Amino acid sequence: MTLGNPPAGLAGTARIVEKASGWLIAIAVVLIILGLMAMVEPMVAGLAVAVLVGWILIVAGVTHVIGAFGGGGAGRAIWHGLIGVLYVIGGAYFLMHPLLGLGSLTLLLAGILIAEALLRIIAYTQMRRERGASWLLVNGVITILLGAMIWRNWPSSSVWAIGTLVGVNLLMAGVSRLMLALAARSLARSGSPS
């Protein structure tokens, strides 16, 4: 639906949407490029994820140690301190041995995928009479096959699994943002004065 003479406020809104969609398109292109790079070099992307997890664990550990001094009694302080120390040790492990950390993350990913698949299959058995429930079963079977493939080929699957999945995720995030930005831009142009 086009507006013959939109109010002045709508014309200004269309310009704002145009500008914002331009930024969203730029972000989408960056995400698509990063996704493709991660899929071409999944080992590098996987190691980057392992290093990122290491830093996140260290920051979380330091936060817990600082929180231990926030009051609440000796028991609370001891537990927060111990949890913080464990996080810092885990983070240091990932930073000092990123390849071993990547292997641990890959094994964890396989376990999570298998558990998720089993839950989807169980959900299907509860909802099998509902319309579209068969997609839960299809999703569960594909996910369990992916998890089993990663688990069966571990530790060699560490070379490709995390990096490839991160790449696919970045690529899909970029494509979805690009489509959203193009739709917003099209909508803004159709509502602006001719």
Model pLDDT for residues 64-122, shown as the tens digit of each residue: 888 888 777 777 788 888 988 999 999 999 899 998 888 888 888 888 888 988 988 88
Residue 18 clears pLDDT 80, i.e. is over it = no
pLDDT above 70 covers what percent of the chain? 89
What residue has token string 């917003």?
A: 184
- The pLDDT value given to residue 192: 55
> What is the rounded average pLDDT of the residues 40-53?
90
Cα dihedral across residues 103, 107, 108, 113: positive or negative = positive
Residue 41 confidence (pLDDT) above 80? yes
* Contact call for residues 102 and 162 (beta carbons, < 8 A): yes
Residue 79 to residues 35, 38, 46, Cα–Cα distance (Å): 40, 39, 32
Query: Which distant-in-sequence residues (6+ apart) come within 8 Å of 121 by Cβ?
Result: 136, 137, 140, 141, 144
Residue 89: its pLDDT value, please? 92
**Neighbour count for residue 78 (Cβ, 10 Å):** 11
Percent of the chain's residues with pLDDT above 90: 17
Of the pLDDT bands very low, low, confident and very high (cuts 50, 70, 90), residue 21 is confident
The whole-angstrom separation of Cα 21 and Cα 10 is: 16
Question: Which residue is associated with the tokens 């079977």?
Answer: 141
Rounded Cα gap, residues 102 and 155, in angstroms: 9
Whether 14 has a pLDDT exceeding 80, the answer reads: no
- Count other Cβ atoms within 10 Å, centred on residue 5: 9
Given this model, what pLDDT does residue 163 score? 85
60 falls in which pLDDT band (50, 70, 90)? Answer: very high
